[in-house]
A and B are shown apart, each in its own frame.
Chain A
Amino acid sequence: MKKCLLAALFTGAFSLAFGQSEPTLHFMTNWWQANQTNPAFWPDEQINIGLPALSNTLFFTGATYGDALVEQNGETVLDVDQLISQLEDRNLVRENLRLETISAGFRLGKFHLGISHAVRFHAFLDYPKTLPQLIWQGNAQFIGQEIDLGHDFQIGSFNEFGVTGAYTLGPLTAGARVKWLTGLGDLSTEKGQASLYTAPEIYQLSFETDYLLHTSSVLDYNSYTDFEFDANFGQLDLSRLITRNSGWAFDFGVNIELEKLRLSASVVDLGSIRWTENVTNYSSQASVNYDGLDISLALTGDSVSLQEALDTLEQILVFDSTQNNYSTALPAKVYLSGGYEITPSLTVGAGLFGEWYREQFFPAGALNVQWRVLRWLQIGATYTVYRNTFFNFGVSGAVRLGPVQVFLLTDNLPAAFNPAGSRFFSARAGLNLAFGARTE
């Protein structure tokens, strides 16, 4: 159990992620992938084909990789005490992974049309410090206290099939995208309230829950020591392009180019998925008190085993299960940005970004500069502020070799040099084919 949670909070967390606005990408307005942040962004080429590309962002609070992993007798081990000591009262893990298989965009005069497919994986975990403390360090440290074990999480993946349309009218381009979503798997809480009180007398336990966990094709839970977690839903599987879990999402955006000034606004990922495939809902709404075994009969001769007491404790973590379909919303994002062309090869920009997810708002602000160093080489840099993290410097690099475009970017370059001390990781890499005359 511990190992499993360790994977969820740390190993798993690295493979999950935080979100997720990708400001550096947003400011690369003349690249096909920037269209994902605003459907009104459209490259100059007549035809743009996006080949398989990958992006990933990860954010977490608490201990860093370097804090938690230590050398001991020549081996790298995970120092749980250190990991927990670095946690805040409430902690967050965000992951967003996007695997783009193919996309294409076409300029048809003033009309622009695009299609796309991507597999997206996202994860969210909001948990109190007391939860890993309880699991790894036990409840003895909380004798006489009621501790909050409430948490909120979602892990899910889905296919996204998009059709984008845009229209340019003078300096204004307005775009919209319709996305059909087919869910691959989901595990998410709707209600995650839980608390535990350990009485000082003889450690009587009071466990309060108001918990509702939904799963589609991910979890099969029988007891806390008997469950199956199928994490393969995040893999790219062409046989799972279409599932019975479906939903719709919409992106809207405008972009105005006034001489050297560019202003844009967009909202993306307004939508949800209805989960109907292999759905199970696990719920617990209980107030369970365990005061110890009444052994008054056993005192006269019958035997009572310690295992019996432990088995009784296990019964506390019993869930009711139902099979009711449910829905989950995508993390909606908003982008407000502007750019100013200082010289034909140098552009500066600024933007405000926000994301609503799991009833939380994640704001960000960024400054950017794009420099076309050579005709075939463009580089950029971004400074971003996320919540309480101020040391986020991103860079981008793009090369045009005829119709072939290759780009690589990150929103937090220091993490590449100091991954052991970082809590925010971001990277995107891609390959495009672009055809048609560019208008300089």
Chain B
Amino acid sequence: MRRFFLFLLALSLFGCNHFDDLEGIETTGDDAEFAIPLVNTRASLKDLLESLDDYTFLDTSDAGLILLRYKGDIVTKTSDEIFANIQLALPPLIPVIDTAMALPFNTPEGVEIDYVELKTGIMQYTFVSYHEEDLTVKVKFPQAVKPDGEPLEFTHVVNYAGSTPVYPFPLFINYDLAGHKLIADTSGNLSIIYEAYRPNGERDTLSNFFVTVTNLTFEYAEGYFGNQIHDGERDTIFIEFFESWTQGDVYFNDPKIYVNVFNSFGVPTRSIVNIFDIYTALGNVLPLQADAIEDGIDFDYPLLTEVGEEKVTQFTFTKDNSNIDQVLGSKPIALDYDVDAITNPDSITAIRGFITDSSRYTVNVEVELPIYGRASGFQAIDTVRIDFSNFDAVSEVEFKLVTENNLPMEVKLQGVFIDEQGVVIDSLFSQSESLILAAPVDAEGEVLAPAKNTQYIPVGAEKFDRLRQAANLLIYAAFSTTENGTKSVKVYSDQDVRILMGMIIKTRD
């Protein structure tokens, strides 16, 4: 088409053949400069921190102060273990060798069970009579009460048929103990009594009398349970805030570590701290020191009148009762802890407690870092993949950065461009630049007014040519609170920073 019209035009211009030159002609002087907006965003520190790992939670204090929380695993212990020990206390086969005898419970050392309510259980017993006459046998369990409140008793008639031994019918008497209560006598025993009567009313004895109890589970137990250990298991809380830290100082004004215990065992319980160490970014291991670690923490427990309730104990390590401000001011990256608990730590048998089949002991540990403090040159490093290879037409660029910061925090930035082999190609600035200025604060660390800043970041043609080889940008960001970290500041959840960036692209033909 174009050739067609060029031909016609050539005719109209009486042989002006210069217009053929326009076909595929090169151009000059068409280097353009395009100005486009790149970034227009607003983010609070809370927004930035909210995407941290699953163990980091953001909270705000009543005053709106941002709180970083790092939570450890939740450890839960139930009554199953204790009940299993009690169940094992009863031998599988109990020979009844006297007409009245205490059942031989072999409870763990120091455990005294006063009273239990059975959830399940099957009792079997049998006996033999060598008497050549009929017998009437009464079997009694004086400390066992049936669900209807009656004492547990059985009567059997053993008929002599001309030969001995004589067995009861059926041979094994089965009985479901579900819903029964066992109330120990004053000596703490459960007993079995049998009475065998001849037809003339005289008492006699039986032979080979055996009792078994199987599938025994408990709904409730009361007494003194001795020193049971709740193994809290070892856990580590990673504090991601400092994960990318490389240098600088941070001081939190009021860090805390919470030990939260939820206890529905009706038993006095106290902590045993095996390990409570803070690992720092410098590679040090600093033990948390506090009287509570040495002496243990007594956890609240429900009394006998509070069966079914859960008592909550929150113990807080603060700078007033521990060295927490020192260990958390040292760039902590992890808290390693192992906290067990022991029941009846003072072994006072007079304190009778209880457990139920739903009793549980739950403990978790939280680290709380309120964004109230100061930082100086707190530097983090991150790597961003970049690729300028598709920008052949771009000769140079100039970024314009506009910030309006309501946070009392300054950000200095330096970027280092490296190639695929990690070789440094160039840097963004000759030296770190303050791109975001800190908002000024008053004596209480409260922000007075936003800080505004406008910065032009030129990337010249030669530099941009070098950057075409770059594969990664290492970003070194240094954060300092207002007045270069010499003053403690408060960061609230509604404070944010507005970041605007545009760029002018200069193109080449």
B-binding residues in A (CB < 8 A) = 2, 6-7, 10-12, 14-16, 54, 56-58, 65, 69-70, 72, 75-82, 97, 136-141, 143, 198-199, 201-205, 231-232, 234-235, 290-297, 299-301, 303-304, 306-307, 309-310, 313, 410, 415-416, 419-420, 425-427, 429
Q: Which residue of A lies closest to B8 (CB)?
A: A56
Q: Is the CB of A203 within 8 A of B37?
A: yes
Q: Is the CB of A203 within 8 A of B21?
A: no
Q: Is the CB of B402 within 8 A of A10?
A: no
- B411 CB, min distance to chain A CBs, angstroms: 12
A310 to B391, CA, bound (A): 12
Q: Is the CB of B18 within 8 A of A65?
A: yes
Q: Is the CB of B4 within 8 A of A72?
A: no
Task: Name the one of A54, A57, A80, A140 contacting B27, with C-beta atoms under 8 angstroms.
Answer: A80
Q: Is the CB of A11 within 8 A of B13?
A: no
List 8 A-B pairs, minimum CB-CB distance, nearest first: A15-B5, A202-B502, A81-B29, A427-B12, A140-B33, A292-B37, A138-B32, A292-B40
Interface hit among B44-52, B218-226, B354-362: B44-52
Q: Is the CB of B1 within 8 A of A296?
A: no
- B317 CB, min distance to chain A CBs, angstroms: 29
Q: Is the CB of B2 within 8 A of A11?
A: yes
Q: Is the CB of B35 within 8 A of A78?
A: no
- A302 CB, min distance to chain B CBs, angstroms: 9
Q: Of residues 14 to 51 in B, which have CB atoms within 8 Å of A's CB atoms? A: 14, 16, 18-19, 21-23, 25-43, 47-51
Q: Is the CB of B40 within 8 A of A234?
A: no
- The answer to the question of B501 belonging to the interface, with a C-beta cut-off of 8 Å to chain A, is yes
A72-B28, A81-B29 known; A299-B34 Cβ under 8 A = no
Chain A, interface SS category? mixed
CB-CB under 8 A from A295, the residues of chain B are: 39, 41
- The answer to the question of B313 belonging to the interface, with a C-beta cut-off of 8 Å to chain A, is no
Q: Is the CB of B13 within 8 A of A425?
A: yes
Q: Is the CB of B50 within 8 A of A300?
A: yes
Q: What per-residue 1/0 map shows which CB atoms of B490-509 lie under 8 Å from chain A?
A: 00000000001111110100
- The answer to the question of B384 belonging to the interface, with a C-beta cut-off of 8 Å to chain A, is yes
Q: Is the CB of B22 within 8 A of A204?
A: no
Q: Is the CB of A76 within 8 A of B501?
A: no
Q: Is the CB of A202 within 8 A of B500?
A: yes
A296 to B13, CA, bound (A): 61
Q: Is the CB of A77 within 8 A of B8?
A: no
A-B contact pairs, 26 of them (CB 8 A): A2-B30, A7-B2, A15-B9, A56-B9, A56-B11, A75-B26, A76-B21, A80-B30, A137-B31, A140-B33, A201-B502, A202-B500, A203-B35, A203-B504, A231-B2, A292-B39, A292-B41, A295-B39, A296-B47, A299-B48, A300-B50, A303-B385, A309-B36, A310-B36, A419-B18, A425-B9
Q: Is the CB of A301 within 8 A of B2?
A: no
> Which of A56, A57, A202 is most buried by chain B, counting CB atoms within 10 A of its CB?
A202
Q: Is the CB of A303 within 8 A of B18?
A: no
CB-CB under 8 A from B21, the residues of chain A are: 69, 76
Q: Is the CB of A202 within 8 A of B38?
A: yes
Q: Is the CB of A416 within 8 A of B50?
A: no
- The answer to the question of B6 belonging to the interface, with a C-beta cut-off of 8 Å to chain A, is yes
A78-B25, A204-B40 known; A419-B13 Cβ under 8 A = yes
Q: Is the CB of A78 within 8 A of B28?
A: yes
A58-B9, A205-B36 known; A136-B30 Cβ under 8 A = yes
- A241 CB, min distance to chain B CBs, angstroms: 18
> Which of A14, A199, A299, A425 is most buried by chain B, counting CB atoms within 10 A of its CB?
A14
- The answer to the question of B463 belonging to the interface, with a C-beta cut-off of 8 Å to chain A, is no
- A40 CB, min distance to chain B CBs, angstroms: 28
Q: What per-residue 1/0 map shows which CB atoms of B258-286 lie under 8 Å from chain A?
A: 00000000000000000000000000000
CB-CB under 8 A from A204, the residues of chain B are: 37, 40, 502
A299 to B43, CA, bound (A): 8
CB-CB under 8 A from B30, the residues of chain A are: 2, 80-81, 136-137
A297 to B39, CA, bound (A): 12
Q: Is the CB of B5 within 8 A of A234?
A: yes
A293 to B6, CA, bound (A): 46
A416 to B30, CA, bound (A): 30
Q: Of residues 172 to 192 in B, which have CB atoms within 8 Å of A's CB atoms? A: none
A15-B2, A77-B28, A201-B500 known; A416-B14 Cβ under 8 A = yes
CB-CB under 8 A from B42, the residues of chain A are: 296
A191 to B28, CA, bound (A): 33
CB-CB under 8 A from A232, the residues of chain B are: 1
CB-CB under 8 A from B19, the residues of chain A are: 14, 65, 419
Q: Is the CB of B51 within 8 A of A301?
A: yes
- The answer to the question of B400 belonging to the interface, with a C-beta cut-off of 8 Å to chain A, is yes
- The answer to the question of B390 belonging to the interface, with a C-beta cut-off of 8 Å to chain A, is yes
- A190 CB, min distance to chain B CBs, angstroms: 24
Q: Which residue of A lies closest to B40 (CB)?
A: A292
CB-CB under 8 A from A139, the residues of chain B are: 33-35
CB-CB under 8 A from A427, the residues of chain B are: 11-14
CB-CB under 8 A from B38, the residues of chain A are: 202, 292-293, 306, 309
CB-CB under 8 A from A80, the residues of chain B are: 27-30
Q: Is the CB of B12 within 8 A of A290?
A: no
Q: Is the CB of A291 within 8 A of B32?
A: no
Q: Is the CB of B501 within 8 A of A54?
A: no
- B505 CB, min distance to chain A CBs, angstroms: 8
A11 to B10, CA, bound (A): 12
Q: A294-B41, A416-B14 are in contact. List 15 more A-B contacts (CB 8 A).
A: A11-B6, A14-B19, A14-B22, A76-B18, A78-B25, A137-B33, A138-B33, A202-B400, A204-B37, A292-B38, A293-B38, A295-B39, A307-B390, A309-B36, A420-B18
CB-CB under 8 A from B36, the residues of chain A are: 203, 205, 290, 309-310, 313
- A343 CB, min distance to chain B CBs, angstroms: 30
CB-CB under 8 A from B22, the residues of chain A are: 10-11, 14, 78
CB-CB under 8 A from B29, the residues of chain A are: 79-82
Q: What per-residue 1/0 map shows which CB atoms of B36-71 lie under 8 Å from chain A?
A: 111111110001111110000000000000000000
A138-B33, A300-B50 known; A77-B27 Cβ under 8 A = yes
CB-CB under 8 A from B23, the residues of chain A are: 11
CB-CB under 8 A from A416, the residues of chain B are: 13-14, 16
Q: Is the CB of B9 within 8 A of A14?
A: yes
CB-CB under 8 A from B48, the residues of chain A are: 299-300
Q: Is the CB of B37 within 8 A of A205?
A: yes
CB-CB under 8 A from B402, the residues of chain A are: 201-202
